[in-house]
Amino acid sequence: MDRLFHTSIFRIALLYLLLLGVTLGALMGFVYWSTAQLIERQTEETVEAEIRGLAEQYRDEGLPRLMEVIGERSGPQGSAENVYLLTGPRLQPLAGNLSTWPARITDEDGWVEVALGRRDDPSGAEHIVRGRAFTLAGGYHLFVGRDTVERADFRDIVLGALTWALLPAVVLGLIGGALIGRYSLKRVDAVRATGQDIVSGDLSQRVPLTGSGDEFDRLAATINEMLERIETLMGGMRLVTDSLAHDLRSPLTRAKSTIEIVLRKGAEDPETYREALEQTAGELETIQRTFDSLINIAQAEAGLNRLTLSDLDLSALAGDLLEVYQPIAEDAGLELDGAIAPDITVKGHRQLLGQALSNLLDNAIKYSPAGGRISFELAATAEGGAELSVTDNGPGIPAADRDRVLQRFVRLDASRGTPGSGLGLSLVAAVAKLHDIALALEDNEPGLKVTLKTAAAGRKPK
């Protein structure tokens, strides 16, 4: 329960109740003040009318008639709220329903509110009376007023209405705040429990969804996407670490063995040392290429080269690569055909794009059988983009493995006997993502077709 009271939702509910109470209080206060002002004006108008009437009676018919009229109006047939008092020069009561003359009241005081006893109230309780005092000819004094019981009754009604309006609102608000706070606390506890499981090492845990589609579900969905990404990255990190250790063990072992054999034999022939150094240099070059590929992939995935993307003549780059790889394909007994559309430009990084295309051509040459044919094409699309494809007739990649081969160090069984580290297609995927290029692996029946398609491309001015 203590945790519930400390939830932000419960505090918001209390703040809402406070604002509601202030609003209702201000509204009721305004209504009371406006109505009290109206009642007061009506009271003054009533008293003014009474005073004028009594003054006429006194002026026209004298004191006896004034006393008679005051007796009638203050009696049972008169208004219960009106009060009158006529006194002699010594303030001795002559007529009216008030017991005594208000103390220290003169004509100059104007409208006054005083507490006075009434003759018609056997309880003897004092009543708050609002009225005015006048001095008549002959030294007589007249006080005419109206009991403020109506205003007091109205005040009690307003206070009662405010109480009955606030009390249920407070009770219901507290209950609602507690229920909402409990629901929010339950959802937050689910997130916290998932976080604790993940901190303990179980990255497969996910925040449960209720299916309501509310803000908690949307937040949970975003957190789950983040957790999936973290799990993928952690899995990739473990895979990279394991694969790197495995792939580097062989060249390091071979380099060490070559050096140890030469040292153990103690050969004096310089040619023997040369061969050993050349073999060792070759193994170190393999290790260096692996690290270079990892660095390029890391840079591309992190988007570090996005700031250096500039206008790139993709047609010229593809033409240069075609010119370089055609002799290599001929030496391997393959035919490399190219169809490069001229003057196509894109926003890109020349080194990374060149490395990615080189990897595709390397793979096509590596896995195509002797006498095979490789196609390297670049064309503009109808949507204003560019499409580049590399096609071979090698063993291809099964559809179930096409997503997996884009990960680092993944090599299929068919490629185990060929040299490589399983980083070629990983670099292609990372570079494609950096350049917002769609990468697709398709069946060439037989062989593999790799397509890179960009949504926007330009034409080089002539």
pLDDT score at 81: 78
pLDDT score at 414: 47
pLDDT score at 140: 85
Reply yes or no on whether the pLDDT at 244 is more than 70. Answer: no
- For residues 292 and 336, state if they share a domain: no
**19 lies in a domain?**
yes
Q: Which of 153, 170, 191 is the last residue of a domain?
A: 153
Q: Which amino acid is at 194?
A: T
Average pLDDT over residues 177-192: 75
Q: Which of 96, 131, 153 is the last residue of a domain?
A: 153
- For residues 244 and 292, state if they share a domain: yes
pLDDT score at 437: 85
- For residues 60 and 82, state if they share a domain: yes
Name the least confident of 164-178, 224-238, 244-258: 244-258
- For residues 231 and 114, state if they share a domain: no
pLDDT score at 106: 73
Q: How many residues does the chain have?
A: 462
- For residues 410 and 436, state if they share a domain: yes
415 pLDDT band, cuts 50/70/90, is very low
How far apart CA 296 and CA 223 sit, in angstroms, is: 29
pLDDT score at 160: 79
Per-residue pLDDT reduced to its tens digit, 321-360: 889 889 888 988 899 888 898 888 888 878 778 888 888 8
Reply yes or no on whether the pLDDT at 188 is more than 80. Answer: no
pLDDT score at 289: 67
Per-residue pLDDT reduced to its tens digit, 49-64: 877 888 788 788 888 8
CATH number at residue 241: 1.10.287.130
Higher-confidence residue of 326 and 123: namely 326
- Tokens 């004096």 appear where? 268
- For residues 358 and 393, state if they share a domain: yes
- For residues 363 and 343, state if they share a domain: yes
Q: Which amino acid is at 62?
A: G
Give kind and range of the element (H or E) at residue 6. Answer: none
Per-residue pLDDT reduced to its tens digit, 150-176: 777 777 787 777 777 777 777 777 777
Average pLDDT over residues 411-427: 58
- Tokens 């593999």 appear where? 448
pLDDT score at 391: 92
- For residues 65 and 124, state if they share a domain: yes
CATH number at residue 360: 3.30.565.10
Average pLDDT over residues 317-322: 89
**213 lies in a domain?**
no
Q: What is the DSSP string of 348-365?
A: E-HHHHHHHHHHHHHHHH
Neighbours of 360 (CB within 10 A): 25
Reply yes or no on whether the pLDDT at 45 is more than 70. Answer: yes
Q: Which amino acid is at 342?
A: P
Higher-confidence residue of 457 and 20: namely 20
Q: How far is CA 213 from CA 189, 216, 217, 276, 294, in A?
A: 18, 8, 5, 67, 41
Between strands 335-340 and 373-380, the pairing is parallel
- For residues 21 and 113, state if they share a domain: yes
The rounded mean pLDDT for the chain is 77
Kindly state the tokens that stand for 374: 């490789």
pTM value is 0.46
Per-residue pLDDT reduced to its tens digit, 253-309: 777 887 777 777 665 667 777 777 887 887 787 777 667 666 666 666 555 444 467
Residue of 404, 410, 359 whose CA lies nearest to 243: 410
Give the HSE-up count for residue 249: Cα atoms under 13 Å, Cβ half-sphere: 6
Reply yes or no on whether the pLDDT at 416 is more than 60. Answer: no
- For residues 243 and 341, state if they share a domain: no
pLDDT score at 305: 44
Residue of 23, 28, 27, 42 whose CA lies nearest to 151: 42
**84 lies in a domain?**
yes
236 pLDDT band, cuts 50/70/90, is low
Average pLDDT over residues 402-408: 72
Higher-confidence residue of 265 and 144: namely 144
Range of the domain at 92: 2-153
Q: Which of 268, 300, 332 is the last residue of a domain?
A: 300
Number of domains in the chain: 3
**Percent of the chain residues topping a pLDDT of 90:** 2
- For residues 339 and 402, state if they share a domain: yes
How far apart CA 385 and CA 32 sit, in angstroms, is: 74
Annotate 91-116 with b (16+ C-beta within 10 A) or e (fewer): eebbbbbbeebbeeeeeeeeebebeb
**Percent of the chain residues topping a pLDDT of 70:** 82
**177 lies in a domain?**
no
Q: Is 437 left (phi over 0), alpha (psi -120 to 50) or beta?
A: beta
Residue of 357, 379, 358 whose CA lies nearest to 457: 379
Q: How far is CA 159 from CA 26, 43, 294, in A?
A: 12, 22, 78
- For residues 238 and 129, state if they share a domain: no
Per-residue pLDDT reduced to its tens digit, 6-36: 666 667 777 777 777 788 778 777 877 787 7
Which stretches of 18-59 are assigned E, i.e. beta strand?
A: none
Higher-confidence residue of 279 and 378: namely 378
Whether the upstream peptide bond of residue 446 has omega within 30° of 0, thus cis, is yes
Residue of 396, 400, 403, 392 whose CA lies nearest to 425: 403
Kindly state the tokens that stand for 67: 């006393």
